[in-house]
Chains A and B, each alone.
Chain A
Amino acid sequence: MELQTRIIEDTLLVKIVGELDHHSSEDIRNQIDKLLSSNSIINIIFDLSHMNFMDSSGVGMFMGRYKKIKMKNGIPVMINIQDSNRRLLKMSGLFNIYQEYKDLDDAILAIRRGSDE
């Protein structure tokens, strides 16, 4: 598993490359939370285009990051979701708390609109 992160304005973009399970989620959680401790980051976008496996440990990781973003009054987003991951994301109710957008451009536009409201 490899995590690629980038900060775009007040949004943290996180690309998960590889598998999200109990083993890798601890590492991912630590890396993200270090970046989220900065007050200038409000929103998070998870790019799932290269996440080729996830299980319920991953669900726990996404729920935990959702809580952190909500405390900042930010917007949690997922983009580029693969069909193979969709079933578990849906079953776990993550689509009720994360906004889904097709790609990064759509997500950034939506976040800018959301922040203006």
Chain B
Amino acid sequence: MKSIAELEEIRKRTLQRINLRREDKESEVRVVVGMATCGIAAGARPVMMAFVDEIGRRHLSQVTVSQTGCIGMCRLEPMADVFLPGEEKVTYVNLDADKARRIVAEHVVNGRPVTEYTIGNAENNKQQA
């Protein structure tokens, strides 16, 4: 038999798992990984799995990871965009699993973009987005 506290525990644990099905996503943070052929070939899959894993490990229920197609800069793959509510998106390039984990820690959790991985930095500080 479950106690009230156990019930609450189940609620929190499961909610984190299924929260991505909610339709009210105003406060949501989105991580979008480029998963076209070019991205996958460059290693986007381990990058995405690192995002998913790190976000799960930190119990960040308001963050979703999704995929997108090729945006035309195949030489910079694997790429990912991070959308924080009310802020401009940040595009990261030439990612790997470790970089992905750092982005979760610094950008998603603490709100500080990891400038050294951004597209602006990669393109010699030419400002794009």
Query: Do A and B actually bind?
Result: no
Point out residues on B near A: beta carbons under 8 Å.
none
Point out residues on A near B: beta carbons under 8 Å.
none
